[in-house]
Structure 1
Amino acid sequence: MRKCIRCGTAMVEDCELVIWGFGSEYIQIKYDKKKRAFSGDLGTPKAAVCPNCGEVSMYVENTSKLKE
């Protein structure tokens, strides 16, 4: 369960993220700190929405590639 960073309310998860004008539905993260680099497909991004204040949080479910 995700909690809203603004008001602490339980968020509605697993919402579809639609970005107009872009053809990609994947997030690519590049990280280079002391040559610990990651670049790859993390899957389809999802969104969580707070029913109380409207805060939106984007996330990916499979973070195992970031831990390698």
Structure 2
Amino acid sequence: MRKCIRCGSEMKEDCAIKVEGAGYGIVLSSDEKKLFGGRMGKPKVAICPECGEVSIYMEDVEKLKD
């Protein structure tokens, strides 16, 4: 359960980021030199239903530890 950093309410988790006008999606990467190298995965979004705060997070953080 994620708590909102603004108001402390419980956030709605596991939402996705959609980019209008393109179907490529968003993938976080640690290496810009390679086309597909260093991929860490797709970010998730949590939204506060009380104040509208948006939080972007990674569900699987194991790749960040490498």
Shorter chain as denominator, the TM-score bin is 0.7 to 0.9
Q: TM-score, normalised by structure 1?
A: 0.71
Instruction: For residue 42 of structure 1, give the secondary structure of its aligned residue in structure 2.
Output: strand
Q: Do 1:25 and 1:45's aligned partners in 2 also have CA atoms closer than 8 Å?
A: no
For these two proteins, the number of residue pairs brought into alignment is 61
CA distance in 2, matches of 1:49, 1:19: 17
CA distance in 2, matches of 1:23, 1:43: 16
The answer for unaligned runs of 5 or more in structure 2 is: 32-36
> Does residue 66 of the first structure (1) align with residue 64 of the second (2)?
yes
- The verdict on how the C-alpha distance between 1:61 and 1:12 changes in structure 2, with shifts beyond 3 A counting, is same
Report deviation, 1:28.
2.5
- Counterpart pick for 1:50 among 37, 48, 60: 48
RMSD, aligned CA: 1.9
1 or 2, which has the higher strand percentage?
1
Q: TM-score, normalised by structure 2?
A: 0.73
> Does residue 6 of the first structure (1) align with residue 3 of the second (2)?
no
**Runs of 4 or more above 3 Å deviation:** 21-24
Letter in 2 for 1:27: V
Identity %: 51
